[in-house]
């Protein structure tokens, strides 16, 4: 018996815990329908044995949302606040089931797209981590991101972080404003990171100037989380003013080249957020090996930092916690800086 319904229900639990009852209802409905031999089985059956890291449940949710955004599922759209729907999650699955029956070909095509959650809210953790790296090194930042998707978080310093009344870090005029994203013992924010170089890679990068790619990015935002839509909209506006090319490369190939040469006078920061689960075991090992080797070559004049936001198993009721960790070289010292939600705020600093 396939484990697909079990995986859908597990993802639904995470969606509910992270504030998306709509996505949770859709995934539970699909799991039940699949198990009972309904139309969801015909659509999802070819993905029954897809690797868990490809997250077929989120690809299904993104495919449904894509049709909603394209105005090809008007009854289902009534349940999506992202397009003005107010019906709520109740009754969403019956409406989605009809879409599965009637639009199976379009959904099947959309499900072939990899998950691309270029979550702007995670920059709240990234920016704070860069503050720590800048304070520790006293140097400008060379920022390298693996699994960068459309590269929106590479513009981290162009977002605004209102950490207290009247105190905004980053760009106070930014169309992206994260309100009170930090809690706990805050980073040494008197030091402002100066990013002088930025580059990223992704196996299948998206272009924020492309209408189709913007649709893909939007489709992977959960349809009842309007604040995330606002962040994405603002980040796309910033991307148009600060063009960057994310290279279509595996993380190991990108890092092998980017870390081969020392950069005296700069602090190199390798950053990734919710990326490890999408890498094969071999690719994860290669990335770790390359970063460690570069760390062994690092000097005080050309330090290296690895800054990550990745999920870790935690006790019930939440099966994951999202940990912000910083490793610095020379020395290779690692420390947990904070914990946060899967999409960023609140970031609770240690």
* pLDDT of residue 2 exceeding 80: no
pLDDT of residue 317: 58
Q: Is residue 35 a contact partner of residue 2, using CB atoms and an 8 Å limit?
A: no
Of 175, 165, 172, 181, the residue nearest 123 (C-alpha): 181
pLDDT of residue 319: 67
CA atoms of 233 and 312, how far apart (whole Å): 29
Give, in order, the Cα–Cα distances in Å from 63 to each of 23, 73, 216, 238. Answer: 12, 11, 9, 26
Residue given tokens 């005296």 in the structure block? 264
pLDDT digits (tens, 9 = 90+) for 169-204: 999 999 999 999 999 999 999 999 999 999 999 999
Termini Cα distance of the chain = 44
Q: Is residue 153 a contact partner of residue 124, using CB atoms and an 8 Å limit?
A: no
Of 211, 229, 204, 201, the residue nearest 120 (C-alpha): 229
pLDDT of residue 52: 82
Q: Is residue 205 a contact partner of residue 217, using CB atoms and an 8 Å limit?
A: no
Instruction: Name the helix (H) or strand (E) containing 312.
Output: strand 304-313
pLDDT band at 327 (very low <50, low <70, confident <90, very high): very high
Q: Where are the domains of the chain?
A: 4-110, 120-206+243-349
pLDDT digits (tens, 9 = 90+) for 137-153: 999 999 999 999 999 99
pLDDT band at 53 (very low <50, low <70, confident <90, very high): confident
pLDDT digits (tens, 9 = 90+) for 229-247: 999 999 999 999 999 999 9
pLDDT band at 316 (very low <50, low <70, confident <90, very high): low
pLDDT of residue 293: 98
Which one is predicted more confidently, 339 or 318? 339
Mean pLDDT of the chain: 95
* pLDDT of residue 71 exceeding 90: yes
pLDDT band at 1 (very low <50, low <70, confident <90, very high): very low
Q: What is the mean pLDDT of residues 33-52?
A: 94
Task: Please tell me the pTM assigned to this model.
Answer: 0.91
Q: Record the tokens describing residue 126, joined without a space.
A: 């990234």
* pLDDT of residue 50 exceeding 80: yes
pLDDT of residue 153: 97
Q: Is residue 87 a contact partner of residue 73, using CB atoms and an 8 Å limit?
A: no
pLDDT of residue 204: 93
pLDDT of residue 132: 97
pLDDT of residue 318: 55
Q: Specify the DSSP class assigned to residue 69.
A: H
């Amino acid at each position: 018996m396939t484990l697909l319904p079990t995986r859908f229900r597990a993802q639904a639990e995470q969606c509910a815990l992270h504030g998306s009852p709509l996505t949770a209802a859709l995934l539970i409905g699909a799991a039940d329908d699949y198990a009972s031999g309904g139309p969801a089985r015909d659509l999802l059956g070819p993905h029954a044995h897809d690797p868990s890291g490809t997250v077929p449940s989120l690809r299904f949710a993104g495919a449904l949302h894509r049709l909603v955004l394209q105005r090809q599922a008007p009854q289902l759209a009534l349940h999506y606040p992202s397009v003005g729907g107010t019906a709520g999650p109740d009754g969403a699955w019956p409406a989605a089931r009809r879409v599965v029956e009637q639009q199976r070909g379009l959904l099947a095509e959309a499900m072939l797209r990899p998950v691309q959650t270029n979550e702007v809210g995670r920059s709240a953790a990234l920016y704070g981590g860069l503050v720590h790296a800048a304070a520790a090194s006293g140097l400008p930042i060379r920022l390298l991101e693996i699994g960068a998707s459309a590269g929106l978080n590479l513009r981290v310093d162009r977002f605004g972080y209102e950490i207290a009344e009247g105190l905004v870090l980053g760009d106070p005029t930014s169309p992206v404003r994260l309100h009170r994203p930090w809690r706990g013992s805050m980073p040494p924010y008197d030091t402002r990171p100066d990013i002088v170089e930025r580059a990223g890679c992704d196996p299948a990068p998206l272009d924020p100037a492309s209408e189709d790619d913007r649709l893909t990015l939007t489709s992977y935002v959960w349809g009842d989380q309007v604040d995330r839509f606002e962040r994405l909209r603002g980040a796309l506006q910033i991307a148009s003013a600060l063009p960057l090319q994310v290279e279509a490369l595996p993380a190991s190939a990108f890092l092998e080249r980017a870390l081969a040469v020392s950069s005296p006078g700069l602090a190199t920061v390798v950053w990734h957020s919710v990326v490890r689960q999408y890498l094969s075991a071999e690719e994860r090992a290669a990335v770790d090996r390359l970063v460690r080797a570069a760390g062994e070559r690092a000097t005080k004049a050309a330090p290296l930092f690895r800054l990550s936001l990745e999920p870790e198993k935690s006790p019930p009721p939440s099966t994951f916690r999202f940990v912000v960790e910083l490793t610095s070289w020379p020395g290779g010292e690692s420390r947990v800086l904070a914990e946060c939600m899967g999409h960023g705020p609140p970031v609770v600093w240690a």
